[in-house]
Amino acid sequence: MTYAYAICSTDDIDLKHVSTTVHFSEVSGPNTASTGQTATAGCSREDGQLVSGGAAISGGNVTTTDFSKATSGGPHLNGSFPSDAAGTPVGDGGSNPSYWTAATHSGGSPSPNSYSDVWALCLDVQHGHKR
């Protein structure tokens, strides 16, 4: 399944002091059959709180080319989740994660030139003062 989310506001919310930052990370792989890969991106204190993230596996570097599918039919996304800096999933137990992780897998056949991509969406609400 694929899910998409929107972050919305109303007309009576003052957005003058709200800023969003998106961080992106991409790592090569997984390229060999039956292997996995992770990629993690995060929000710094200056960026504010992590509010969401996204993940993909692609067939080319998405920062320099159009998004393309991986070269074989097997590569797939195993997970897209909030995490710690090491990529360990962080649950709802009162934690406040600052990172988002993509977990990908090559499937049963080689997938040369695959890339694992991850995005972290950060939201900072400034209350009339500079950091």
Per-residue pLDDT, 108: 87
pLDDT at 102: 97
The confidence score (pLDDT) of residue 129 equals 46
Band of residue 8 on the pLDDT scale cut at 50, 70, 90: confident
Report how far residue 27's alpha carbon sits from residue 90's, in angstroms, rounded to the nearest whole number.
21
What's the start-to-end Cα distance of the chain, in Å? 40
- Please list, in sequence order, all residues whose beta carbon lies within 8 angstroms of the beta carbon of residue 113, skipping any fewer than 6 positions away: 31, 59, 60, 71
Q: What percent of the chain has pLDDT over 70?
A: 82
Q: What does the block give as tokens for 127?
A: 């209350």
Sequence-distant (6+) residues with CB within 8 A of 11 are none
36-77: pLDDT as tens digits: 999 999 999 999 999 999 999 888 777 776 666 666 678 889
Predicted confidence (pLDDT) at residue 1 exceeds the cutoff of 60 = no
